[in-house]
Amino acid sequence: MKFRHLLLAATAALALPGAAMAQDSWLPTAAAQPVTGVYVGAGLGWNHLSNNNMTAKGRNALAYDAAGLSRQGNLDFKEGGVGVLSLGYGFGNGFRVEVEGNYRYNELDKLGGFPGRAPGVNAGSAFNRFSGEVQQYGAMANVYYDFQLPQWFPNMPVAVVPYIGGGVGYLWTDIDARGTRRGAPGETVDINGGAGQFAFQGIAGLSFPIASVPGLAITAEYRYMGALQSKYDGNVRNASGQLVSNGSFEVDQNHNQSVMVGVRYAFNTPRPAAPAPVVPVAPAAAPAPARTYLVFFDFDRADLTDRARQIIAEAAQNANRVQTTRIEVAGHADRSGSPQYNQRLSQRRADAVAAELTRQGIQRSAITVQAFGESRPLVATADGVREPQNRRVEIVLR
């Protein structure tokens, strides 16, 4: 079996992040919300399988001892490929859990070892006419944590979410390797069997949410996977092809290092609402400034964005121009979280807007501040739903 088609597909997938950025389809950082609910993922890429030492066991070991040969050999592998499919669930706070199926493939590069150790026995360890492959099938349970960079770097030009993870599970390994020893005694080694082992892995990656399809993200990640030592069926034949022994070979712990690109889709991601324009309460006969202004906030945040400061500055300028006698500032929240928490969050948002109005030259005594929590939504939703248009502060000029 060849893995070239899988590697070609992985190479093509590496172009996806650059193409998506060229199309200006990335979300602003404020919209990179934690994964909530069920998601699916897939990845494809390169796999490096470390060289494995192996030891003849049982009858094979006795046959090598009788021939004056060492019991120790080694298997070296070419670079290969890896594919992963996963099904997971995000808790909305950065943590995710998932189950994963994976497949890895590497061709045999070299079969060596089993040198002579007795006087008069060929001491060379080189084999010729060797061939083979190793295929690994894994089932893993993983835990991840996504770091929400916009919380610390609000001015990042694109949305990027670093994540780390780890997992444990089961790995089934099929080895098919054979080679003929050069010179006397000219024996052959044939390893052909499968074994299951406990497996573990560590993961580090980046995801890039795409604005045009809420819930879809491109991923790029590195994985290390290890598995315990195992035994595989094998036999030894003499130079004339006669069976000398039929036993097993013990192969050291597997060490895989993989680099993959992939896609992930979360089914429960809401489409972000466009920023609401300034909305006048009532039309005036002559051109006049708007009397009601809406300031929107990111999820679970009470700090002001650059757009929010622009809206507040416009409200302050219009208040001075039309000689407003009273300014009402009312804070609101969506229905994600408890009512008590949302009440406090809406109060912080209203206080932040009032402070900015004061900085813009409005007397604090002319401002009244109220907080309504989740009790007066702009868009009606079920409990627990994140609605961007309900995360707001209303400024009303009287």
Instruction: Give the domain ranges of the chain.
Output: 4-266, 292-397
Which residues, 6 or more positions from 151, have their beta carbon under 8 angstroms from its beta carbon? none
Query: Mind giving me the DSSP string for 325-380?
Result: S-EEEEE---SSS-HHHHHHHHHHHHHHHHHHHHHTT--GGGEEEEE-TTSS-SS-
User: Could you tell me which of 83, 58, 78, 189 has the C-alpha nearest to residue 128?
Assistant: 189
User: Could you tell me which of 146, 172, 200, 3 has the C-alpha nearest to residue 83?
Assistant: 3
Question: Please, what is the Cα angle at 48 between 43 and 50, to 5 degrees?
Answer: 145
Q: Which amino acid is at 361?
A: G
Per-residue pLDDT of the chain (398 residues; tens, 9 = 90+): 444 544 444 444 444 444 334 334 333 344 467 899 999 999 999 999 998 899 999 988 888 788 778 888 889 999 999 999 999 999 989 999 999 999 999 999 988 888 776 555 555 556 778 899 999 999 999 999 999 875 555 555 568 899 999 999 999 999 999 888 776 567 788 999 899 999 999 999 999 999 889 899 999 999 999 999 999 999 988 878 888 899 999 998 889 999 999 999 999 887 766 666 766 666 555 544 447 899 999 999 999 999 999 999 998 888 888 777 788 999 999 999 899 999 999 999 999 999 999 998 888 888 999 999 999 999 898 888 899 999 999 999 88
Q: Burial of 56 by CB count in 10 Å (0-12 exposed, 13-18 middle, 19+ buried)? A: buried
If you search the block for the tokens 């893995």, which residue do you land on? 3
Q: Which CATH number fits domain 4-266: 2.40.160.20, 3.40.33.10, 1.20.200.10, 3.40.50.2300?
A: 2.40.160.20
Strand partners, 47: 80, 258
CA–CA distance, 136 with 106 (Å, rounded to integer):
9
CATH 3.40.1180.10 fits 292-397, yes or no: no
| Whole-prediction pTM | 0.62
Q: Which amino acid is at 259?
A: V
